Amino acid sequence: MQQTDLEHLYAWFREYTSRFTSDNSRTRTNLDLKTGHTLRVANNCRAIAESLHLTKEQCVLAEVLGLFHDVGRFPQFMQYGTFRDGISRSHAEMSVEALDADDVWRDFTDDERQLLTTAILNHNQFTIPADCTGDTLLFSQLIRDADKLDNLEMRAEGSSQRYTITLNAQGTGDEVQFQEMETVSPKVREAILQHRCVLFADVQTAADLALIIIGTIFDLNFSYSFRQLHETDCVERIFSWLPQNDSFREMREAAEGFIEERIAAQV
Element (H, E) at 137: helix 134-157
Burial class, 228, CB count within 10 angstroms (exposed 0-12 / middle 13-18 / buried 19+): buried
CA distances from 21 to 38, 78, 147 (A): 17, 9, 24
If pLDDT is split at 50, 70 and 90, which confidence band does 180 have?
A: low
If pLDDT is split at 50, 70 and 90, which confidence band does 110 have?
A: very high
User: Per-residue pLDDT averaged across 95-106, rounded?
Assistant: 96
Distance CA 29, CA 9 (A): 24
Choosing among 1.10.3210.10, 1.10.3720.10, 2.60.40.10, 2.40.30.10, the CATH entry for 3-155 is: 1.10.3210.10
Distance CA 21, CA 144 (A): 28
**Long-range residue pairs from 244-250, CB within 8 A, at least 24 positions apart, any chain:** 247/184, 247/189, 248/184, 248/207, 250/193
If pLDDT is split at 50, 70 and 90, which confidence band does 174 have?
A: very low
Distance CA 37, CA 247 (A): 32
User: Per-residue pLDDT averaged across 16-38, rounded?
Assistant: 94
3-state secondary structure of 167: strand
Domain extents in the chain: 3-155, 160-264
If pLDDT is split at 50, 70 and 90, which confidence band does 175 have?
A: very low
